[in-house]
Amino acid sequence: MKARTILLVLMFLPLFCATAVSARSQTGNDDFQQAVVAYQQSPNDLNKAEKVIRMAAAMDQLPPIPEEARRHFVRGTALFKDAKTTDDYEQVGGEFKQAVHLAPWWPEARYNWALEQEAGGVYDWAIKNMKLYLLFKLSESDARAAQDKIYVLEAKQEKAAKAKANESSTQAAAVTAENSFDALLRKIDGRRYLASEDSHIASAIDIRGRNLVLGAVVSPGAPVSPGYQMGFHELERTNSRFEIRDREFSGPVGETLGCQVCPIERTFTISEDGERITQRVRFSDGNVHEDIYLWQR
């Protein structure tokens, strides 16, 4: 009787063990499914993504890939080959993101998403996704390649950050210079500058908004004639108005009649403090003449 009882126990022992293993397997599967759902509800939560991947890495066999996830993966792979613009890469990234969202235990989807982010210049997320990819159960060679890829991404990220910083610095300097120039124009607007003068006529420059007007001022002691009244006179037979484009700018002289050696170019330089304007005139024979105009307070 005693021997029979032991025999019955031995007979039911395999069935009991199989039931226990099945229960543990079911419990583990439920935990994994809960982790997947939690990740899908917060796909930007890297901690939840890491939890799913670590649980997947501990499995003997990964769950099957949903057909919809495979569809997005194939679409992304096909589009990736011809991607060139930012919009192209955003479309590719959207496909791989969907594949990862539907099957977060799929190593290849996570890896391809990281490659797309690298191509699109989104290095911070490319590095994050490559580090998540390293958590999967990988071969030694694949793990080595992934870690080396992270080093490459970090180098590209540093280079891009440096280029962006330099660009920002250049743009800031340009804005500062532009603001400074605009402030200078506002400061000198309406001013008159005079060059060396004789008893009758002085060469003059008037600043009118963004225009420099070149002319002459007839002195009060000058004889009155029909052609020369007192006041400011723009130069005749030349282009006398010049657009002020910077502190130093040039302009064509225009037609000058009755001269053998004609001026062909004028260059003006406004001093930083706005106190003086230097005019350089280049003539057709190659000579250059310079005049300095001082602000008449």
How high is the pLDDT of residue 218? 76
Instruction: Enter the tokens of residue 277.
Output: 């304007």
How high is the pLDDT of residue 207? 94
Domains in the chain (CATH in brackets) are 25-161 (1.25.40.10), 192-295 (2.40.160)
Residue 138: which of 113, 161, 98, 111 has the closest Cα? Answer: 111
How high is the pLDDT of residue 35? 96
Distance separating the N- and C-terminal Cα atoms of the chain: 129
How high is the pLDDT of residue 240? 81
* Residue matched to tokens 């679409």: 75
Which residue stretches of the chain have pLDDT < 50? 1-25, 237
**CA 119/CA 262 separation, integer angstroms:** 59
How high is the pLDDT of residue 82? 94
Q: Which helix (H) or strand (E) holds 79?
A: helix 67-82
Instruction: Enter the tokens of residue 232.
Output: 């400011």
Instruction: Enter the tokens of residue 265.
Output: 């170019």
Residues 107-132 have pLDDT tens digits of 999 999 999 999 999 999 999 999 99
**CA 45/CA 38 separation, integer angstroms:** 9
